[in-house]
C-alpha cells in the first residue's frame, strides 16, 4: 500500500502498482530537480505528503500531478482493453484530481 497525504483531506491510499502508475509519469513531467527528488523519495517511502512541503513546492507538484492524473485517467477509460483494475484506478484518480485542486487554488 502507498499513500498521498493532502492537507485537510483523508489520505489517498492505493496499491503499490497504482502509486507507481501515478508517480512514475509525474517524475518525467516535473521540470524542477528539487521536485523530482521529492517524488523520488516518495516512491522509495511509498508516501507523498504535501503537508511536509513548502506551499510553493506543494503547488508546483500538485499542478503537474493534476495534469498527469487527468491524462492517465483518460488513457485508462478510453482503452477498449481496460480491465476492472484499470477502471477502478480511473475512478480513484478522479477523486485524487478533485482533492489536489485545493492545493493550487
Query: What are the extents of the domains in the chain?
Result: 2-104
Residue 100 has pLDDT above 90, yes or no: yes
pLDDT in tens, 36-71: 999 999 999 999 999 999 999 999 999 999 999 999
CB neighbour class for 44 (10 Å; exposed up to 12, middle 13-18, buried from 19): exposed
Dist. CA 13–CA 52, nearest whole Å: 17
User: Which pLDDT score is estimated for 54?
Assistant: 95
User: Which pLDDT score is estimated for 32?
Assistant: 96
On whether the pTM is more than 0.75, the answer is yes
User: Which pLDDT score is estimated for 1?
Assistant: 96
Collect all residues with Cβ–Cβ distance below 8 Å to 71 and sequence separation of at least 6.
25
User: Which pLDDT score is estimated for 46?
Assistant: 98
Amino acid at each position: 500500500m502507498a499513500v498521498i497525504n493532502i492537507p485537510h483531506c483523508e489520505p489517498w491510499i492505493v496499491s503499490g502498482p497504482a502509486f507507481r502508475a501515478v508517480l512514475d509519469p509525474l517524475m518525467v513531467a516535473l521540470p524542477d530537480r528539487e521536485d523530482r527528488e521529492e517524488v523520488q523519495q516518495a516512491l522509495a517511502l511509498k508516501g507523498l505528503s504535501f503537508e511536509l512541503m513548502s506551499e510553493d513546492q506543494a503547488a508546483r507538484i500538485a499542478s503537474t500531478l493534476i495534469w498527469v492524473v487527468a491524462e492517465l485517467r483518460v488513457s485508462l477509460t478510453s482503452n477498449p482493453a481496460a480491465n476492472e483494475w484499470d477502471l477502478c484506478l480511473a475512478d480513484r484518480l478522479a477523486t485524487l484530481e478533485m482533492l489536489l485542486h485545493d492545493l493550487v487554488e
